[in-house]
Every structure is written in C-alpha cells, then in structure tokens.
C-alpha cells in the first residue's frame, strides 16, 4: 500500500478514449485504458471528465489581486506610475502573502498547476504557493533605485529565501525591464543567473517607446541589447515581446529563449499591436501564454485568455486557420516551450499534474473537447486540479478558500482605501 497514491478511473482523454491514471509519490505511474491502482489509493471518479495536462501561466504578478482593476482606463506607463507603484509602496509582507494566496485560489480553480511570478517581497509569494499546493517559478523583482548605481541588493537575499522552499518552488532571476534596470545591473544579474544556473524572467518590448528609447540610447533594439549583455539563452523567459522584429525573433529562436505572450494585458494596456505570433512561429520561437498580473487583466484564467489569444491572432493575420486548436492547447499547457514544461501529454514517469474537465458543463457537452477547451470553456469547466499527486481543487473549489478570500479582500480594501 502506497502512502500517497491516487488514481483516476473512467475518465476520457482528448481523443475520446476511456482512460485511467495512477499517481504515486507525485509521479504518474500508469496512464491508459487499463490501470491497476495500488491498494489504498485515493480514487477519483473520472466518469464524464476529460483528463488533460493543466494550464501553465507563464507570466504573472500574483499578489496584484490586491489591485485588481486599479487604474482600469490608463495605458501602461501611466498605469504603472499613477495607479500601481504608489500603492505598492505600502505593501506589507502579509498583504503580498494573502494577495498571492487569493491568486492561487483563482488559478487552482481555473486549472493552473504552475505559474511564473515576478514581484516585490517574493518570499511571501513562495510561501503562498507552498501553502496552496501549486508550483511556481518565483522571481524577486530587480529594479534599480532611482539615481542609484546598481540594483537594490534585497532581491538577492529574497532569492535565497525563495530557494529554501520545497520542490514545487523554483526561482528565477527577475530584472524588471530594460527601462528600470541599467546595463551594469543587467550584466550583474545575468552573471548571477549563469553562476547559479537559474532562469531569467524579464519584461521585454512591451511598448514601442521601449524600443525607441533603447535604440536611441544603445543603438540597438532591445533583444540585441539584452543579448549583448548575456541575458538571452535557453533559460530566458521574455514576457510580452510585442514589438520584436523579424531579426529579433530569429535571435530569440537561435538562443532557444521562450516568449510568453499576454494577449489580454497587452490589449488592456493598449501597447499598440498584438505579439507577432505568426512570425515568431515561422522563426521557431518557443511560446507560452501568460495572464500578466490580475491588476491589468483583470483575472487569472488562462483558458479565457487562450481564446482571446487565438481570436487576436486570427484577426491580426486575417487567417482563420492560423492557429490550429491542438497547437493553441499545447501553448496554454506549457508544452510548446521546454522552459515551461515537458512537450509530451500525460504519461508514466511525468509529474502527476493534471486536470479533470467536467464534460457535462453545457459549453463542453457538444463539439470537440480540444476545440472546446480553446474556444468554449473558461476555468469554470475545470472540476479537479491535481499537482504532484495531490488534489488542489475539487468540484471547482479549493479547501479553505473562504478564509483566503476574506483575508485578501481585507488587505485590498485597506491598501486601496
């Protein structure tokens, strides 16, 4: 008898096949039409459920649930400077913890197993993820203090604290952007990332102005600038990359870096155009999907955002066939980037991370399941989320969510009063 075994029986896979799944000690041990759960395993009834890999949210600032919708009608730079940064000065560690816990409840209910985060007081985010049972790659944000000569050093201490959590928490070096971190600091953080073999998580080319300013100051476009400083490699996650030109996309592909596109936040903050996904695809860029922070989205529902992404790319290309549903689904589940997740669907030997999607929901009841995941469902169709073999949400609910909602709402009210 295994202490931590779990099995799903009688579920359906995306091809319509009846399948079961067995997980032991956090790993999938069996997956297919016939499985034999070990004695004592917790059994999940998969009847009427689709079993698939979970969603991966490739870029967010989870604790910003506290500022949801703040400065709704402002473009990016005014939104940051007028609505967000002034409020962030007052954040306590507890605020960040409960804000991130609320984000974890929302993401868990919406089928997200894993997210990439960048924020202030990031150890509190790590603690929230640990307590919530999710996975995350957390990056204490690096920003040069105004007028300073290098980044505040607090982030490095935070990085070490983040690294002390359990195996579901990974860390990344997270310089905010080229317009908030100078060349010297960028080189320094790149060096630290190399030494420690850590990923780099950075915002890149979100607005045209960022590109213009970079060209004016450094004589090259942002991707080349970062590459010259040693920041573009196979463990680099570039959030947004809206204004990359063909040469930059080819450079990103050559280096094996990943772009995480945030179609909802990009439109909301009016950054000027969609991520050039077709060109990125032609260049061979690895792509993931992100919600961005919930203050500029204003939700944490990658299934909803996946539809927006696909619609936007269809409209931008004037080509209804530009994004096949299978490919869209791979992108949303992190399977189109080695940095975000394994390329295969569920199989023995892989981490026991999966969702059960309720096929009796009206939007899932007719049509093809993968098409429905891309174009019809939102996170509310997710019945169960399992991460590392543990049930995180069930029946669309997270145990103890009431306290989390109350504590985060209280913090948000105080901060925005």
Helix, strand, or coil here: 343? coil
| Residue of 324, 248, 285, 289 whose CA lies nearest to 115 | 289
Stretch that binds a copy of itself, among 173-181, 193-201, 263-271, 329-337 (CB under 8 A): 263-271
Closer residue to a copy of itself, CB minimum distance, 236 or 261: 261
Among 25, 72, 94, 157, which residue interacts with a copy of itself (rule: CB under 8 A)?
Answer: 72
Contact indicator for 126, 160 with CB cutoff of 8 Å: no
Does position 68 interact with a copy of itself (CB under 8 A)? The reply is: yes
Smallest separation, CB 370 to a copy of itself (Å): 9
Stretch that binds a copy of itself, among 121-129, 174-182, 302-310, 344-352 (CB under 8 A): 302-310
Among 74, 232, 251, 386, which residue interacts with a copy of itself (rule: CB under 8 A)?
Answer: 74
Closer residue to a copy of itself, CB minimum distance, 71 or 341: 71
Sequence-distant (≥ 6) Cβ neighbours of residue 211 within 8 angstroms: 205, 221, 222, 243
Helix, strand, or coil here: 171? strand
Smallest separation, CB 42 to a copy of itself (Å): 25
Helix (H) or strand (E) holding 54: none
Closer residue to a copy of itself, CB minimum distance, 52 or 258: 52
Q: On the CB side of 131, how many CA atoms lie within 13 Å of its CA?
A: 18
DSSP strand pairing (200-204 vs 236-240): parallel
Smallest separation, CB 175 to a copy of itself (Å): 26
| Residue of 141, 164, 161, 138 whose CA lies nearest to 151 | 141
The DSSP call for residue 234 is T
Does position 412 interact with a copy of itself (CB under 8 A)? The reply is: yes
Contact mark string toward a copy of itself, 79..98, x via CB under 8 A: x-------------------
- Cis amide leading into 298 (omega within 30): yes
Residues 158-177 that bind a copy of itself (CB under 8 A): none
Among 2, 152, 180, 371, which residue interacts with a copy of itself (rule: CB under 8 A)?
Answer: 371
Q: On the CB side of 380, how many CA atoms lie within 13 Å of its CA?
A: 5
Stretch that binds a copy of itself, among 100-108, 168-176, 214-222, 244-252 (CB under 8 A): 100-108
Does position 400 interact with a copy of itself (CB under 8 A)? The reply is: no
């Amino acid at each position: 008898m295994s202490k931590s075994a779990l099995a799903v029986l009688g579920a359906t896979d995306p091809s319509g096949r009846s399948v079961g799944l067995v997980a032991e000690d956090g790993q999938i041990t069996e997956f297919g039409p016939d499985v034999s759960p070990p004695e004592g395993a917790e059994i999940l009834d998969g009847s009427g459920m689709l079993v698939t890999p979970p969603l991966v949210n490739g870029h967010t600032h989870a604790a910003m649930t506290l500022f949801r919708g703040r400065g709704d009608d402002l473009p990016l730079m005014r939104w940051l400077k007028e609505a967000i940064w002034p409020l962030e000065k007052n954040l306590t560690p507890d605020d960040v913890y409960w804000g991130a816990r609320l984000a974890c409840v929302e993401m868990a209910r919406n089928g997200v197993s894993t997210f990439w985060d960048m924020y202030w007081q990031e150890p509190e985010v790590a603690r929230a993820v640990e307590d919530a049972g999710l996975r995350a790659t957390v990056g204490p944000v690096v920003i040069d203090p105004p007028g300073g000569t290098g980044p505040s050093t607090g982030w490095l201490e935070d990085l070490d604290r983040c690294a002390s959590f359990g195996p579901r928490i990974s860390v990344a070096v997270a310089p905010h952007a080229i317009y908030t971190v100078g060349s010297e600091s960028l080189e320094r953080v790149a060096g630290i990332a190399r030494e420690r073999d850590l990923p780099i998580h950075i915002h890149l080319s979100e607005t045209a102005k960022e590109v213009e300013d970079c060209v004016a100051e450094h004589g090259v476009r942002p991707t080349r600038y970062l590459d010259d400083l040693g920041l573009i490699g196979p463990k680099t996650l570039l959030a947004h990359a809206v204004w990359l030109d063909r040469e930059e996309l080819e450079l990103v592909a050559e280096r094996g870096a990943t772009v995480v596109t945030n179609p909802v936040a990009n439109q909301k903050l009016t950054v000027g155009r969609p991520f050039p996904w077709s060109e990125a695809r032609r260049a061979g860029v690895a792509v993931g999907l992100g919600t961005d922070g919930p203050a500029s989205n204003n939700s944490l529902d990658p299934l909803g955002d996946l539809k927006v992404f696909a619609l936007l790319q269809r409209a931008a290309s004037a080509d209804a066939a530009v994004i096949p549903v299978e490919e869209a689904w791979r992108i949303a589940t992190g399977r189109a980037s080695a940095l975000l997740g394994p390329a295969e669907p569920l199989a023995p030997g892989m981490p026991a991370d999966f969702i059960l999607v309720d096929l009796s929901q009206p939007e899932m009841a007719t049509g093809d399941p993968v098409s429905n995941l891309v174009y019809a469902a939102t996170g509310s169709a997710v019945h169960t989320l399992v991460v590392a073999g543990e049930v995180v949400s069930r029946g669309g609910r997270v145990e103890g969510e009431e306290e989390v909602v109350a504590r985060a709402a209280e913090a948000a009210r105080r901060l925005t009063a």
